[in-house]
Chains A and B, each alone.
Chain A
């Protein structure tokens, strides 16, 4: 199959170019941007808090299920409920979820 198109002949050659001295200027530009900012501190894992939040979420889920069970077949989950649930999270957990969302390469595809 590769008789017609030899990957080995081309290797890693690319037609792309960059302006002269580009990589040095890139490094300088980024350093100018970050030199006065301090890196975010490591996020501490508060296992007890997470367990508590998990348990609370399960309990809340069961309560909601019991209350809304009769309506479930008639009504789809509204986006505002998702927003409300998100708003109910602590700032730390909201930041964590946003991080996960941003880190997931294809979540928005």
Chain B
């Protein structure tokens, strides 16, 4: 199947809601889920936040005015939903300032493959970062977004995104070395 074009998805949503919805999901459901999952860790939370993200996108796609790309707009909504979950946890009992909080969440989730030690180690390292650095690192490393796009999602500047990415990378290397 040819790569889906965002403009085609938007016009399909306006003309034939179900077809537009299917196209939207075909292109973005996995991207959105994995983006959220990397931030919230727990599968159940990622599922909830992904659902909310697509419900919001579906209900408000007509408000999308093209000030940024459709993908950036989707990432912003998804990021907000992930941060909403993190805020709820912060208001509850889990402290996100604790670098081991992420590792605890990994252990608590039933949908993690602990046989892949290197991948587990990398996620633990990412989860030890402050939320904004996690976000910037993930968007660059996993989603391969440009710094301008990351800046548009996080509400910062491209320079700040670039700095945050490099700081995050250094911290990850340091963290991994510390637990070898």
- CB-CB under 8 A for A15 and B119, given A35-B18, A106-B154: yes
Cβ-defined contact, B119 with A26, below 8 A: no
Cβ-defined contact, B111 with A13, below 8 A: no
Q: Does A27 contact B (CB under 8 A)?
A: yes
Question: A61 to B60, alpha carbons, bound, how many Å?
Answer: 33
Interface size, A (range): 35 or more
Q: Mark B115-127, 1 if CB is under 8 A from A, else 0.
A: 0101110110000
Q: Which residues of B contact A70 (CB under 8 A)?
A: none
Chain B: interface secondary structure?
helix
Cβ-defined contact, A16 with B29, below 8 A: no
Cβ-defined contact, A39 with B113, below 8 A: no
- CB-CB under 8 A for A105 and B154, given A14-B123, A34-B21, A43-B63: yes
Q: Does A79 contact B (CB under 8 A)?
A: no
A14-31: which have CB < 8 Å to B? Answer: 14-19, 22-23, 26-27, 29-31
Question: A41 to B142, alpha carbons, bound, how many Å?
Answer: 34
Closest residue of chain A to B154, judged by CB?
A: A105
- CB-CB under 8 A for A39 and B116, given A4-B173, A26-B33, A106-B132: no
Question: A99 to B59, alpha carbons, bound, how many Å?
Answer: 13
Cβ-defined contact, B29 with A4, below 8 A: no
Closest residue of chain A to B114, judged by CB?
A: A15
Q: Which residues of B contact A108 (CB under 8 A)?
A: 83, 87
Q: Which residues of A contact B172 (CB under 8 A)?
A: 5
Chain A: interface secondary structure?
loop
Q: Which residues of A contact B180 (CB under 8 A)?
A: 4
Q: Does B153 contact A (CB under 8 A)?
A: yes
Question: A109 to B58, alpha carbons, bound, how many Å?
Answer: 26
Question: A2 to B75, alpha carbons, bound, how many Å?
Answer: 29
Cβ-defined contact, A15 with B123, below 8 A: yes
Question: A35 to B17, alpha carbons, bound, how many Å?
Answer: 8
Cβ-defined contact, A40 with B59, below 8 A: yes
Report the 10 A-B pairs with minimum CB-CB distance, sorted nearest first: A42-B62, A15-B119, A17-B111, A5-B176, A34-B58, A15-B120, A13-B119, A27-B25, A15-B113, A30-B54
Instruction: Give 28 A-B contacts (CB < 8 Å), ordered by A residue.
Output: A4-B173, A9-B118, A10-B119, A10-B122, A14-B38, A14-B123, A15-B114, A16-B38, A16-B109, A17-B43, A17-B111, A18-B33, A22-B47, A23-B29, A26-B29, A33-B55, A39-B13, A104-B155, A105-B76, A105-B79, A105-B80, A105-B83, A105-B153, A106-B154, A107-B155, A108-B83, A109-B131, A109-B132
